[in-house]
A and B are shown apart, each in its own frame.
Chain A
Amino acid sequence: MASIRKTIEKRKSLIAFITAGDPNFEWSFRYIKAIADGGADVVELGVPFSDPMADGTVIQSSYRRALISNVRLPEILAFVKEVKKSINIPVVLMSYCNPIFTIGLEEFFSKAEKSGLDGLLIVDIPVEEIEEVSMLSKEHEIENIMLAALNTPEDRLKEISEYSTGFIYLVSTYGTTGSSPSALVGSKIREIKKTIGHTPVCVGFGITERRDVRKMIMSGADGVVAGSILVRIIEKYGESAAPVLRRKVRSLKEGTENFKYSKEVGVDDYDI
């Protein structure tokens, strides 16, 4: 099984996000293949929700497009099964609580396991409520990914780390998806790495260029998540988005490669 954690531990990773079924499953399937071709290490699929409170307008619109095509979680799990047959990198689902709770946690996890899903990130579940999800994800061998924020204190980071069997997803900003990363993110990455050490840390929100990726990696991140920028390509190019996505992913992926973690570059230069 292609474990997310092992993948990230092996090499600095690019995690590419798009919304499942945006604007429909057929196109979405092609996009995912293009993303994998482009060199993404992990694919993250958004589960559309009517009221995504952590997302900016780009991703919110993609959810709306998917919802119009009647894309719902049960169909997405069937879709993941198809996707897993044609790509060999791990697949993560990112969802809000409500679509999952509607199916019921137990049923969701047993279906997710059968689909071959590798990881799960529930955006709006805090550590206080994660126990059951954590137990079920272990039982069904799905890696759990949890959010950390720039203002998450140390004791809480430790707790989040314990439950993050996949990786810790550090939110780079106080805004929604698509907002620019905060200047504080570099020092936060280092703080997390120092405090919790073992769990990989990936940074997301507002990653648009190769240099953003490189900045995060140079600050010590193990991986970087790019989302809104890819979704915007889908919004703009529609049916012919696949080759553009492939090129963009390749360019972003380069940000994780071919550089040395050297003093000369000066990690702190990027941490203004």
Chain B
Amino acid sequence: MVVKEINKYTKYGTSGKFGKFGGYYVPEPLIQPLRELIREYEKVKKNREFWRLYKSCLKEYAGRPTPLTLARNLTKISGGAEIYLKREDLLHGGAHKINNAIGQALLALKMGKNRIIAETGAGQHGTAVAMVGALFGLKTEIYMGAKDVERQNTNVFRMKLLGAKIHVVRESSMTLKEAINQALKDWVASFETTHYLIGSVVGPHPYPTIVRDFQSIIGQEVKKKMAHPDVLVACVGGGSNAIGFFHPFLDESVRLIGVEAGGDGKKGAATLCEGEKGVFHGMYSYFLQHDGQICETHSIAAGLDYPGVGPELAFLKECGRMEVVSVCDKDALKAFHLLSRLEGIIPALESSHALYYALKLAKSMGNNEKVVICLSGRGDKDLEMVIGSGNMK
């Protein structure tokens, strides 16, 4: 029953709704640009040549397919299930963001746009967009909150090196949510020449669907290597690595677990765990909010520091297909260190959230079972943050 319902809404639905989540709740001037995007994407979806080009860029430029690594030492220590890592950290740029950036940049070229704009939180998406902007000769401008600019300085420099122009956003929270606000405002005025390259499965229809489709390569590759994992675990901010990882497995009997950022005990960003339904950034979904106002969030991982979540994930949670938990800053840091020491892999703080929960879970599982974690990015960008947290022993 559940699976049938999921099929109805997430596989074949083109209305932009996942159950009652999603849609395009935007002021009228944005409707035509979105409809143009819907039309163009519908065309592209059936265009084999487009997907061939996308796949070849992923292979030649981004470094796909990525390995599925058995983490032997972690497995030994946990004493339970086998722990596997889907290595998105090995991609060009150091995170899964490039999958979507390549796809949407090709889409922008198809639509005849010569400029791309994007928001970025941690700077991973911004970097991916700056890379494809350089690669395809598209004028690239990135909106980034002042607070994020400060804590992700290296990525800012990387984007500049790659030729992108950075707009530092100083409105209210000065983080990802403001960056999206400003990018949307830019797009309302510039859509004729500009494609807004959203970095997660959030925003108005058709973005949650487009980004999911471009990220589903993650789960497809896992499926090719391992037909029957028992549990998939991914971190969830906006949710693009999670949905890309989960989507090809929706019909399988696999547990899907989304791990949100619990924050520091005072403030967090665990939207699905603690949020309420509402409308923000053009979508009906769950949001951290108070009295109808959107809250400011906190996470040690800039990429999870967002008060909303993609509508498809909201739907999967609502109908019980996906479990949701949260992991706090401190525990994520523990997992960060553990993976570095035991496997020689420095994970992104975002992915460290998923890692922590998966390790705990693996202990309680049998030796014949398999847990796969989406290691969505590498941790180089987080070194300053980790040093600053006083957590370097």
Contacts and interface: CB of A to CB of B under 8 A. Distances in A.
Contacts of A148: 28
Contacts of A147: 27-29
A185 to B, nearest CB: 12
A191 to B, nearest CB: 15
A124 B278 contact: no
Nearest to A205: B29
A72 B25 CA distance: 21
A53 B27 contact: yes
Contact of B24 (A51, A102, A128): A128
Interface string B99-113: 000000000000000
B172 A64 contact: yes
Interface string B255-290: 000000000000000000000111111100001010
Nearest to A56: B185
A174 B189 contact: yes
Interface stretch (B160-168, B291-299, B309-317, B359-367): B291-299
B338 interface: no
B184 A101 contact: no
Given A171-B27, A171-B29, 11 more contacts: A49-B293, A53-B27, A54-B29, A73-B292, A99-B293, A101-B277, A124-B26, A128-B24, A147-B28, A160-B28, A175-B189
Contacts of B24: 126, 128
Nearest to B32: A151
A125 B25 contact: yes
Interface of A: 49-51, 53-54, 60, 64, 67, 72-73, 96-103, 123-126, 128-129, 146-153, 156, 160, 171, 173-176, 179
Q: On chain B, which size bracket covers the interface?
A: 20 to 34
A126 B293 contact: no
B174 interface: no
B29 A149 contact: yes
Contact of A98 (B178, B185, B278): B278
A149 B185 contact: no
B177 A124 contact: no
B28 A53 contact: no
A50 B181 CA distance: 11
Chain B CB count within 10 A is highest, among A99, A123, A151, for A151
Contact of A129 (B23, B177, B178, B185): B23
A64 to B, nearest CB: 7
Contacts of B191: 174
Contacts, number: 105
B294 A98 contact: yes
Interface string B186-203: 001111000000000000
A63 B172 CA distance: 11
B282 A124 contact: yes
A51 B291 contact: no
Contacts of A179: 189
Given A98-B278, A98-B279, A175-B189, A50 B293 contact: yes
A66 B294 CA distance: 15
Given A102-B289, A151-B32, A50 B172 contact: yes
B279 A126 contact: no
B171 A60 contact: yes
Contacts of B32: 149, 151-153
A152 B292 contact: no
B171 A99 contact: no
Given A51-B294, A67-B293, A176-B185, A149 B25 contact: no
Given A99-B292, A101-B279, A126 B29 contact: no
B31 interface: yes
Contacts of B280: 51, 98
A64 B178 CA distance: 14
Given A101-B278, A101-B279, A102-B292, A124 B25 contact: yes
B196 to A, nearest CB: 12
Contacts of A100: 292
Nearest to A102: B292
Nearest to B296: A50
Given A72-B292, A149-B29, A151-B29, A53 B23 contact: no
B297 to A, nearest CB: 12
A124 B102 CA distance: 30
A91 to B, nearest CB: 20
B324 to A, nearest CB: 22
4 closest Cβ pairs, A-B complex: A99-B292, A102-B292, A97-B279, A149-B29
15 contacts: A50-B172, A51-B280, A53-B282, A72-B291, A98-B292, A101-B279, A101-B292, A124-B27, A126-B24, A126-B28, A147-B27, A147-B28, A149-B29, A174-B29, A174-B191
B291 A97 contact: no
Given A152-B31, A174-B189, A98 B26 contact: no
B279 A96 contact: yes
